[in-house]
Structure 1
Amino acid sequence: MSPLKMYIRSVLVVFAAFELVLGVWMSFLPASFYAMPTLDWTPPYSEHLLRDLGGMKLGMALILAVAAITFDHLLTKVALLAYLAFALTHLIFHAGHLHWQSPGWSITLLTIMTVSVLAPLTALLATLTPTPKKPRSAN
Structure 2
Amino acid sequence: MVLRAGLLVLGVTQAVVGLWALPAPRSFYDGFPAPGHHWVSALPPYNEHLVRDVGALSLALTVLLVAAAVWLDRRLVAITLVVFAVWTVPHVVFHSVHLHGFSVLDATAQTVGFAVEVVVAAVLAVVLVRSKAPAVHSSE
Q: TM-score range by the shorter chain?
A: 0.7 to 0.9
Distance 2:73 2:106 in 1: 38
Runs of at least 5 residues in structure 1 that lack an aligned partner in the other structure = 1-5, 133-139
Cα-Cα RMSD? 1.4
Query: Which has more helix, going by share of residues?
Result: 1
Q: Counterpart of 2:9?
A: 14
Q: Counterpart of 1:135?
A: none
Correspondences of 1:1-139 after superposition (within 5 Å) = 6-35=1-30, 36=32, 37-99=38-100, 102-131=103-132
**Percent of residue pairs identical:** 28
- Deviation >3 Å, runs of 4+: none
Give me the TM-score of the superposition, normalised by structure 1: 0.86
Aligned residues: 127
Give me the TM-score of the superposition, normalised by structure 2: 0.85
Q: Counterpart of 1:136?
A: none
Check whether the contact 2:42–2:101 (CA below 8 A) recurs between aligned residues. no
Distance 2:13 2:108 in 1: 20
Cα–Cα, structure 1 residues 34 and 10, in superposed 2: closer, same or farther, change >3 Å? same
In our comparison, the structure showing a higher alpha carbon Rg is 1
Q: Counterpart of 2:137?
A: none
Name the aligned partner's letter for residue 79 of structure 1.
T
Q: Counterpart of 2:136?
A: none
Distance 1:26 1:41 in 2: 16
